[in-house]
Amino acid sequence: MRAAVRGEKNPIALKFEEYLRERRYCSHLSPETIRGYSAVFSLFLKVMPEISVFEDLTPEMLVQFFERIETRERIVGRNTIKTGVKNSTVKTQWSKLHVFFVWLEAKRLIKSNPLKSIKPPTPCYEDPRALEDKDIHRMYSAITLHSRNSLLLRRDLMMVSLLLYTGLRKNEFISLHVRDVDLDKREIVVRAESSKSRNRRVLKIHPTLALHLKDYFKERNSRSLKTEKLIIANRGDCGLTSEGLKHWVNTLIQKSGVRFHLHRFRHTFACKLAEADVHPFKIQKMMGHTSLVMTMKYVRSMRTENMEEDIQRITI
């Protein structure tokens, strides 16, 4: 193992930057996906500082990486020390490093992919990803009871409905413009530039969402707000930012008592469609997935205890 010269950038890190440029401008991956790759690689270099040249990328060193990830102590929340990681987290790290190593192998910078002989874990998703109806009602009630003014009341009700009835990704959600919503046609356009798959799609508007959108637009117009962004910030005539959305989620958790993350709305959308016997290919199109396999991962939250009707359909 040869250490890099002081002041000289890690050659593997330099190649990773080249790899990201290729993925960004040739594969047209979304900024959110690029951030995911960067976060995993940054963690890899942080946990394995001794890796400085391509020859260091061996199966033994990768096993050591996953061992350190599993055994290291880290502080979460309010000074809580935690060890260990979920199988799903390890699988994500394995997958993102794997594609980079495949790229290095294709460029003949390494002899072989060090993860080729290392099998990733199979995540067991026992936690319910979809929201329960009672949790959704608690969110609506919390917004109705605790909103500071009529504009935020109508905005927040619209936001919850928009997430529930469209299954939008975070970036798609905060990137929506007023012009993307056509209440006459009952359509919402998800522009290609804001979509992870880089594909434009049009979603029909559910009656409940239409009602909340109408109330929200009426309140917006009464205040003569001019921002092109659909979702306004708490203060000022401007759109809600990523940080503002994070604050909104934390505030709603506190007020409703429902612990959730934004992506659970997307799981809920997929599961509700599946429970209504919507064809999987239709769900795939509405979710904006390029693969049906990815769509199937979202409906894993469906519970067998809710399938009594399906059992009753059996005839012998």
Q: Is the pTM of this model over 0.85?
A: no
What's CA 187's distance to the chain center, in Å? 23
Residue reference for tokens 């605790």: 146
Q: Residue 126: what pLDDT?
A: 53
Q: Determine whether 180 is exposed, middle or buried from the number of CB atoms within 10 Å of its CB (0-12, 13-18, 19+).
A: middle
Q: Residue 1: what pLDDT?
A: 45
Any idea what DSSP says for residue 16?
A: H
Q: How confident is the model at residue 270 (pLDDT cuts 50, 70, 90)?
A: very high
Q: Which of 301, 312, 309, 305 is nearest to 277 (CA)?
A: 309
Looking at per-residue pLDDT, the higher value among 76 and 3 belongs to 76
Question: What's the CATH number of domain 133-306, 3.30.750.24, 3.30.420.10, 1.10.443.10, 2.60.40.1120?
Answer: 1.10.443.10
The percent of residues above 90 in pLDDT, for the chain, comes to: 72
> Across residues 82-92, what is the average pLDDT?
88
Q: Residue 4: what pLDDT?
A: 47
Q: Which of 33, 13, 14 is nearest to 23 (CA)?
A: 33
Residue ranges of alpha helices (H) inside 48-86 are 59-71
pLDDT single digits (tens) 206-256: 999 999 999 999 999 999 999 999 999 999 899 999 999 999 999 999 999
Q: Residue 3: what pLDDT?
A: 47
Any idea what DSSP says for residue 186?
A: T
What's CA 94's distance to the chain center, in Å? 18
Name the phi and psi angles at 74, rounded to 5: -140, 155
Quickly list DSSP for 27-45. Answer: S---HHHHHHHHHHHHHHH
Residue 149 has pLDDT above 70, yes or no: yes
